[in-house]
């Protein structure tokens, strides 16, 4: 189903979010106070508007409360980001996602009711560090302090073997959710499904178990 998104602030982060949502076929309203920025996005969004998103009347005239999601990606100006988020929540926008600059910014956003707070640089830093430490780790999602989902590259050690042969759940306590094989994704693989060399395995488990599997099982 097509969803309605509004992206406020078309810097590196907001700009990427906008382009990707549009590419996926969603309706995206791209908003920035800088005219040049807005012009860059005419071909990468459904509508563009030059507007200051800290003005309540402006947000109202854009009908912002009717959007399914509003992403606040105002970068350095923390004050504007906070004010804009506050206005959006006061106006009754259901899902407001905000990019935070630091922990102080995060705390304030939490207090004023931001629905989701993201730290793109910090999160990306963690992912890149994980990948640097082991080339087998392609991607990494932290679910909690203890549990994660990782994408691991299938090595020779597991290639052409089935899940039942490898018995990963019993040996390592982690579960393979899916394989990615080129463009194909095999969700909930069956016990007899064979792993191919260079498949990407999507694995969920306790961090210690995942580490053990990555180090000893692959
Ligand atoms: P990033 O770190 O993601 O690249 P930037 O700080 O470069 O973020 O970009 C933030 C964008 O937000 C800029 O394009 C800026 O013009 C825009 N912006 C800042 N304040 C406002 C505002 N009050 N209303 C709308 N857009 C704003």
Which domains are present in the chain? 4-118 (3.40.50.720), 123-217 (3.30.70.1450)
Q: What is the pLDDT of residue 60?
A: 97
CB-ligand 1 contact for 120 (6 Å cutoff): no
CB-ligand 1 contact for 81 (6 Å cutoff): no
**Residue in the structure block whose two tokens are 């073997």:** 161
Short-list 72, 70, 217, 210, CA closest to 144: 210
User: Residue 82 C-alpha to ligand 1 middle, in angstroms?
Assistant: 13
Please give the DSSP secondary-structure letter assigned to residue 82.
H
Q: Whose CA is nearest to atom 2 of ligand 1?
A: 75
Rounded CA-CA distance 52/60 in Å is 12
Q: What is the pLDDT of residue 140?
A: 86
- Per-residue pLDDT, averaged over 25-40, amounts to 97
Residue 80 has pLDDT above 90, yes or no: yes
Residue 186 has pLDDT above 90, yes or no: yes
**Ligand 1 atom with minimal separation from the 52 CA:** 24
- Per-residue pLDDT, averaged over 104-117, amounts to 97
**Ligand 1 atom with minimal separation from the 37 CA:** 14
CB-ligand 1 contact for 87 (6 Å cutoff): no
Q: Whose CA is nearest to atom 7 of ligand 1?
A: 11
Q: Give the tens place of pLDDT for each residue, 118-154.
A: 999 998 888 888 878 888 888 888 899 899 999 999 9
Are 81 and 72 in contact, with CB atoms under 8 Å apart?
A: yes
Helix or strand run (H / E) with residue 54: none
Rounded CA-CA distance 67/65 in Å is 6
Are 152 and 212 in contact, with CB atoms under 8 Å apart?
A: no
């Amino acid at each position: 189903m097509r969803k309605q998104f509004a992206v406020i602030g078309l810097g590196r982060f907001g700009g990427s979010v906008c382009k990707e949502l549009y590419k996926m076929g969603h309706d995206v309203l791209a908003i920035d106070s800088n005219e040049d920025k807005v012009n860059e996005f005419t071909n990468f969004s459904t509508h563009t508007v030059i507007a200051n998103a800290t003005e309540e009347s402006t947000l109202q005239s854009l009908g912002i409360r009717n959007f399914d999601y509003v992403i606040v990606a105002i970068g350095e100006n923390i004050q504007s980001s906070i004010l804009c988020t506050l206005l959006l929540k006061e106006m009754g926008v259901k899902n407001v996602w905000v990019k935070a600059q630091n922990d102080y910014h995060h705390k304030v956003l939490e207090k004023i009711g931001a629905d989701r707070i993201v730290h793109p640089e910090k999160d990306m830093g963690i992912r890149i560090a994980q990948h640097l430490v082991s080339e087998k780790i392609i991607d990494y999602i932290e679910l909690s302090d203890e549990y994660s989902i990782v994408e691991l590259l299938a090595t020779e050690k597991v290639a052409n073997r089935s899940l039942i042969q490898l018995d990963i759940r019993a040996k390592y306590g982690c579960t393979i959710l899916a394989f990615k094989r080129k463009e194909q994704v095999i969700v909930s693989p069956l016990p007899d499904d064979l792993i191919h060399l260079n498949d990407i395995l999507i694995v969920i488990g306790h961090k210690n178990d995942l580490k053990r599997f990555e180090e000893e099982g692959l």
